[in-house]
Copies of this chain bind each other. A is one copy, B any other.
Amino acid sequence: MGPVRLALLAVVALAAAGEAVYIPYNTSAGVAAGKLNVHVVPHTHDDVGWLKTVDQYYVGSNNSIQGACVQNVLDSLIPALLKDENRKFIYVEQAFFQRWWRNQNDMIKDTVKGLISSGRLELINGGMCMHDEATVHYIDMIDQTTLGHKFIKEEFGQVPRIGWQIDPFGHSAVQAYLLGAEVGFDAFYFFRIDYQDRDTRKGTKELEVVWRGSKSFGSSADIFAGIFPKNYEPPPGDFYFEVDDDSPVVQDDPLLFDYNVEERVNDFVAAALAQANITRTNHIMFTMGTDFKYQYAESWFRNMDKLIHYVNKDGRINALYSTPSIYTDAKYAANEQWPLKTNDFFPYADNPNAYWTGYFTSRPALKRYVRMMSGYYLAARQLEFFKGKSKSGPTTDYLGDALALAQHHDAVTGTEKQHVANDYAKRLSIGYTRCLLLNVTFCPPSEMDFSKGKGLVVLVYNSLGWKREDILRVPVFSDSIVVHDSEGREVESQLLPIASASLNIRDKHVKAYLGTSPGAKPKFWLAFPVSVPPLGFNTYFVSSTKKSASVSSKSTIYSSQGSEDSNLQVGQGNLKLQYNAAGALSLYSDSKTLIEANFEQKYKYYIGQDGNGSDPQASGAYIFRPNGTVPVKTDSQVPLTVLRGPIVDEVHQQINSWIYQITRVYKGKDYVETEFIVGPVPTDDGNGKEVATEIVTNMVTNKTFYTDSSGRDFIKRIRDYRSEWKIEVHQPIAGNYYPVNLGIYVEDGNKELSVLVDRSVGGSSIKDGQIELMLHRRLLHDDGRGVAEALDETVCLNNQCEGLIIEGKYYLKIDPQGEGARWRRTFGQEIYSPLLLAFSEQDGGNWANSHIPKFSAMDPTYSLPDNVALLTLQELEDGSVLLRFAHLYEAGEHKDLSALASVDLKRVFPDKKIGKIIETSLSANQERAAMEKKRLKWKVQGPEADEKVVRGGPVDPAKLVVELGPMEIRTFIVSFERSISGEQLL
C-alpha cells in the first residue's frame, strides 16, 4: 500500500495535542515611542455609483455587475466593532451612511452614537460623496461637503478632521486649501498622483508634505497632505481579508494544519519596514481595505486582531488599530518640518501612456447637466428662502442630494457605466422637477399661438448680487412679435430663424424620450435684451402685433460661399469678427480696447488609441491616449450663413456633416459666443474620436497657459513641464491636458486670450498662441480602469441608435494684458448663474395689476461689489440661514478688483433684522474661531515665506459688514429676528 505512506511521511510538526482554547487577542496597543508604529486603518471605499447605481450599491442589487452591498458593510461593522473596544473603523461616504442610518432602529442608533463618540467609528471626509477634483466646480464641492457635514454635526455632534480623497484621479489646489484647510481639516490623504512624481517623492521621502494650495492665502491655508505609497489598499504582501479573498488568513490554531503565524508576522514586518524606508518619522499607515470591502467586517478584524497581537508579541515593530486622525496627531507630535508642495497634482498618469485626462471631457452632456443644475440649485435656494421653506411640499433638498451625488468621482467625471450615468441624470431631473414645482405653478411653452390675443409672460430671475443686462432667447411661431418690459415700454427685439440643425435635435430627442413627435415647429428665436436687478426679477411680455413700427426685427440673412466675399465682417458693436475668403475666421478686433488679433478657429479630432496589439492601453472614459490628429476640413461648397439684426449677429457654419457651429456677436457685448453642435461622431471607420476645437493666434506664449483649479484659482501651466519635478514626456498631447471648469487663457505681455466654458472640459495649449478644448469623445474601447464599457454614448429611436449629439457653448475674449481677469471672473459668474426664466400666460387683463413685476431682495440702491458673489443663501430647517460670500479675485490678479471687499448685510437684507450672526468653517459645521484655534499648524522646511495675506476682519454685530480678502469665502449662520413670507413675491 505504498501510496498511502505519502501521508505518514508528509506529517508536519504538529503543536502539542490538547484542547485549544479561546485566544484573547491583545489589540490594545497605542503609539509606542522608539518603535516603528504601524497605524492599521480599517476602511472601505464605497463609490456612490460607478458600475452600479448608488442605490444598487447600497442594497446590494445588480451583483452580477459587481458584488457590492454597502448595507452589509455597515450592518456587519457594528457587531465587529462591539467585539473588541480597540477595533476602529472610518466611514467616508455620507450618501451611503445616511441611507443606512434612516433604516436603523433606536437601539442600533444608540449603539452607533456610542461608537462614534468614543472614536471607534470615525466619520471622515464627511461629504455626501468623495467628490472628483478635476471636473467639479468648487461651489458644488462646498455644497456637497456642507450637506454631509451638516448631518454629521446634527446627528452625532461631530466635526470631521480629515480629508480622505483617496480615489479621485489627480488632486486640485482648491481641494487642498479650500475643501481642506478652510473646512478645518488637519490633513488630507490620497494616492493618485503622477507615477513619475511618486517615484521621485519615494526617493526623497516626500510623499508626506505640507500643501500650500492657495497663493492668496499662503501658509494660512496650509494642510498636511499624505500621499499613499502605492494605493489605498493593504500593503504589499497579501493582507486582503474580505470573504473569499485569497490572502493567507492568519492560522493560529495549533490543532489545525497550516499554522502560519510566523510567516504572517514576517510578511507584516517586511511590509512595514519597506514602507518605513520611504516615510519620515516612525509612523506609517496601512490602509486596510479597498472598494466595497468589509461586506463581512469580522473577516477583516479577525485577521487584523491576530496580526496586531502576534506582531506586537514578536516585538520588532508596534502595530495598532488607528484612524487617520490618530495617525495625523502622531505625525504632528513628531514635530517635523515637512517639504512644501504648491500648485496641484494634475494631470494624473499611472503609466507612461496612461494620462487620466480623458475624463475631463467624458460624458459632456452629463457634465453640462450637472453644471446647469448647480447654477439652478443656487438660485432655487434663494427663491426658497424668499418664499419660506416648505415643511411638507417640494423643497430643494432632493436637488441638493442629487447634485451632491453627481459630484462623485465616478459621476460627473463620466467614468461610470451608462446605466449609472442615467441614474445620476434621473436624480437631477427629479430634483429639478421638484424645484420647478416650488416656484412655478403654470408653465406654458413660449411656442404659443399669440393670434388668440394671448400673451407670454416671461419672469426673469437673477441670482447674482449685481444688476444684470443680458439677451434672452425664446422660440416663437409668429413673425410679428412685440416685447414690452415691466413698465410697459417696448423693447427692441430680433427674430432669428431657427437653424434646422437645432430643430432636428429637438425633434429627435422629443421623439426618443417622450415617444411622440413634437407639434408644429417654432420658426424663430426671439431675442431681446433684459435688465434684471440683483437678487431679483423683472418681467417681460411677449405678444403678437400688427403694428409694423414696434415689431421685432427680422434678421437679415446672407449666405456666402467662401470664395464670394473675401472680407466678411460681423458685429454691430465694438467687437468685429472678420472671415476670410475660405469662410474661416481671420481677425478679431475690438474698437474700444483697440485689440486686433489674427485669429483662426477650427476643429480637429484625435483618433482614440484602440489598445489592440502589444500595447493594450486604449483611450477610454478615463484615459486620453491619442493615436494621431485629424483636422476637420470644412466643405467649402457649404455656404456660411450670416444672420444680422439689431441685437445679435450670427454666423452659421456647417463645419462638416456632424459639426455645426453658430458664432454670435451681441451688440452690447464684447465677447464672442460660439455654440457648437457636435455629433453623432462617426465611428464607421472603426476609430473612436475625440473632438476638439482650437483657437489659433500668433501670440507668443512661451509654452505657458493658465487653467482654473476647480473653477476658482488660476494655475499656471507650462507645456511638457512640471514645476516641482522633472517630467519625462511620453504623451505630448494627453500629458498637457488640464481640467477647465471656468476657463483657460494665454497671454503674451500685450494681451490675454481667454476662453470660458459652460461645463467642465479638458483643455490645453498644445502650441504657442493656441488654446484647445476637447468637446466630445466617442470611443470604442474600454481603457482598462474598471468601468468595462467603451465610452460610446448613443441615443436610440425606434431601436436605431446613433451617437450622442453634444450642444454647447464657449465664450472667447481678447483683452489687453491685465484686464482679462475682470471678464473671466464677472462673466464667468454669469455663465455659472444664468438668468432663470419662468413663463406664464397673459390672457387679457393686466399682469402687473395682480403681480409684482419687478423685485430685488436687496436694497434697491445696493448691489454687491463687482468682486463678490453670493455663493449660498439657504434657509435651514430651524429657520436660520446659511450665507456664503466669495471674493472672486486672487491676490494680485487685478489691479483694482483684488482689493479687500465689503458687503453690507443690512442692505443685502433690507427688510429683515439680523439677530445673530456666526461665522463658521466653510462647511458650516463649526464656528470659524474655534476651528482656527484647534487646527494644527504644520512646520515647513526652509525659510519662512514673506507673506501678506489679506483676510476680512470679524463681523461687527452692530455694523454687519462682511469684509472679504482676495479669494476669501466666508460662511455664516444668520438668524433673523423676524421671518418673512415670500408669498407676495412668487
Residues of chain A whose beta carbon lies under 8 Å from any beta carbon of chain B: 1-11, 14, 17, 19-24, 53, 55-56, 58-64, 67-69, 71-72, 75-76, 79, 99, 102-106, 243-246, 248-249, 251, 253, 255-258, 295-296, 298-299, 302, 365-366, 368-369, 372, 398, 422-430, 432-433, 505-506, 508-510, 512-514, 793, 795, 804-805, 807
How many Å lie between the Cα of A10 and that of B67 in the bound state?
26
Instruction: Known A-B contacts: A2-B506, A55-B256. Give 7 more (CB < 8 A).
Output: A4-B429, A7-B428, A11-B430, A56-B258, A69-B249, A79-B79, A99-B256
**Which of B9, B56, B72 contacts A299, CB < 8 Å?**
B72
> Known contacts A75-B302, A248-B61; is A243 also within 8 Å of B4 by CB?
no
> Known contacts A59-B256, A105-B22, A246-B64; is A433 also within 8 Å of B299 by CB?
no
How many Å lie between the Cα of A422 and that of B5 in the bound state?
10
> Known contacts A22-B104, A56-B258, A257-B53; is A1 also within 8 Å of B807 by CB?
yes
Q: Which residues of B contact A514 (CB under 8 A)?
A: 5, 9
**Which of B55, B69, B251, B296 contacts A295, CB < 8 Å?**
B296
Q: Which residues of B contact A244 (CB under 8 A)?
A: 63, 67-68, 244, 295
A759 to chain B, nearest CB (A): 10
Counted per complex, copies of this chain come to 2
**Which of B11, B102, B430 contacts A20, CB < 8 Å?**
B102
A167 to chain B, nearest CB (A): 21
B60 near A4: Cβ-Cβ < 8 Å: no
A428 near B61: Cβ-Cβ < 8 Å: no
Chain B residue nearest to A369 (CB atoms) is B4
B55 near A258: Cβ-Cβ < 8 Å: yes
A84 to chain B, nearest CB (A): 12
> Known contacts A22-B103, A61-B258, A257-B53; is A6 also within 8 Å of B245 by CB?
no
- List the 10 shortest-distance A-B pairs measured between CB atoms, nearest first: A2-B509, A67-B244, A7-B425, A7-B429, A8-B429, A296-B296, A4-B369, A7-B426, A64-B246, A22-B105
Q: Which residues of B contact A11 (CB under 8 A)?
A: 426, 429-430, 433
Contact sample, A vs B, 13 pairs, CB 8 Å cutoff: A2-B510, A2-B512, A2-B807, A3-B805, A4-B429, A21-B102, A23-B103, A55-B257, A59-B256, A64-B246, A67-B243, A67-B244, A295-B296
A351 to chain B, nearest CB (A): 27
A128 to chain B, nearest CB (A): 15
Q: Which residues of B contact A295 (CB under 8 A)?
A: 243-244, 296, 299
Q: Which residues of B contact A804 (CB under 8 A)?
A: 3
Most buried by B among A10, A20, A60, A67: A60
Q: Which residues of B contact A103 (CB under 8 A)?
A: 20, 22-23, 253
Most buried by B among A7, A245, A425: A7
Q: Which residues of B contact A243 (CB under 8 A)?
A: 60, 67, 69, 72, 243, 295-296
A513 near B9: Cβ-Cβ < 8 Å: yes
**Which of B1, B4, B7, B19 contacts A102, CB < 8 Å?**
B19
> Known contacts A11-B430, A243-B243, A422-B10; is A249 also within 8 Å of B3 by CB?
no
Q: Which residues of B contact A296 (CB under 8 A)?
A: 72, 76, 243, 295-296
How many Å lie between the Cα of A17 and that of B14 in the bound state?
62
Q: Which residues of B contact A430 (CB under 8 A)?
A: 7-8, 11, 14
A277 to chain B, nearest CB (A): 30
> Known contacts A22-B105, A61-B251; is A423 also within 8 Å of B55 by CB?
no
> Known contacts A23-B103, A426-B10; is A246 also within 8 Å of B1 by CB?
no
A398 near B17: Cβ-Cβ < 8 Å: yes
Chain B residue nearest to A397 (CB atoms) is B17
How many Å lie between the Cα of A682 and that of B202 in the bound state?
58
How many Å lie between the Cα of A1 and that of B429 in the bound state?
12
**Which of B398, B427, B513 contacts A5, CB < 8 Å?**
B513
**Which of B71, B105, B368 contacts A1, CB < 8 Å?**
B368
Q: Which residues of B contact A23 (CB under 8 A)?
A: 103
B2 near A508: Cβ-Cβ < 8 Å: yes
Q: Which residues of B contact A102 (CB under 8 A)?
A: 19-21, 255
How many Å lie between the Cα of A433 and that of B53 in the bound state?
59
How many Å lie between the Cα of A60 and that of B21 in the bound state?
19
A466 to chain B, nearest CB (A): 26
Q: Which residues of B contact A2 (CB under 8 A)?
A: 505-506, 508-510, 512-513, 795, 805, 807
Chain B residue nearest to A508 (CB atoms) is B2
How many Å lie between the Cα of A296 and that of B509 in the bound state?
46
Chain B residue nearest to A99 (CB atoms) is B256
A59 near B253: Cβ-Cβ < 8 Å: yes
How many Å lie between the Cα of A3 and that of B804 in the bound state?
8
Q: Which residues of B contact A793 (CB under 8 A)?
A: 3
How many Å lie between the Cα of A465 and that of B161 in the bound state?
80
**Which of B3, B427, B510 contacts A795, CB < 8 Å?**
B3
How many Å lie between the Cα of A432 and that of B7 in the bound state?
10
B63 near A246: Cβ-Cβ < 8 Å: yes
Chain B residue nearest to A298 (CB atoms) is B75
A123 to chain B, nearest CB (A): 20
A125 to chain B, nearest CB (A): 23
A929 to chain B, nearest CB (A): 34
Q: Which residues of B contact A59 (CB under 8 A)?
A: 249, 251, 253, 256, 258
How many Å lie between the Cα of A257 and that of B424 in the bound state?
12
Q: Which residues of B contact A366 (CB under 8 A)?
A: 4
A8 near B506: Cβ-Cβ < 8 Å: no
Q: Which residues of B contact A513 (CB under 8 A)?
A: 2, 5-6, 8-10
A211 to chain B, nearest CB (A): 35
Most buried by B among A53, A105, A513: A513
Q: Which residues of B contact A509 (CB under 8 A)?
A: 2-3, 5
How many Å lie between the Cα of A298 and that of B258 in the bound state?
29
Chain B residue nearest to A303 (CB atoms) is B60
A570 to chain B, nearest CB (A): 26
How many Å lie between the Cα of A423 and that of B257 in the bound state?
9
How many Å lie between the Cα of A87 and that of B19 in the bound state?
31
Q: Which residues of B contact A20 (CB under 8 A)?
A: 102-103
A518 to chain B, nearest CB (A): 11
How many Å lie between the Cα of A550 and that of B23 in the bound state?
65
Chain B residue nearest to A4 (CB atoms) is B369
Chain B residue nearest to A14 (CB atoms) is B430
Chain B residue nearest to A363 (CB atoms) is B3
Chain B residue nearest to A431 (CB atoms) is B7
How many Å lie between the Cα of A433 and that of B5 in the bound state?
11
A472 to chain B, nearest CB (A): 17
Q: Which residues of B contact A505 (CB under 8 A)?
A: 2
How many Å lie between the Cα of A756 and that of B505 in the bound state?
86
Chain B residue nearest to A793 (CB atoms) is B3
A236 to chain B, nearest CB (A): 17
A791 to chain B, nearest CB (A): 14
Q: Which residues of B contact A258 (CB under 8 A)?
A: 55-56, 59, 61
How many Å lie between the Cα of A508 and that of B75 in the bound state?
57
Chain B residue nearest to A502 (CB atoms) is B2
Q: Which residues of B contact A422 (CB under 8 A)?
A: 6-7, 10
A499 to chain B, nearest CB (A): 14
B61 near A249: Cβ-Cβ < 8 Å: yes
A1 near B433: Cβ-Cβ < 8 Å: no
A8 near B432: Cβ-Cβ < 8 Å: yes
Chain B residue nearest to A241 (CB atoms) is B60
B24 near A245: Cβ-Cβ < 8 Å: no
Chain B residue nearest to A393 (CB atoms) is B17
A19 to chain B, nearest CB (A): 6
A9 to chain B, nearest CB (A): 4
Q: Which residues of B contact A79 (CB under 8 A)?
A: 79
A928 to chain B, nearest CB (A): 31
How many Å lie between the Cα of A23 and that of B5 in the bound state?
60
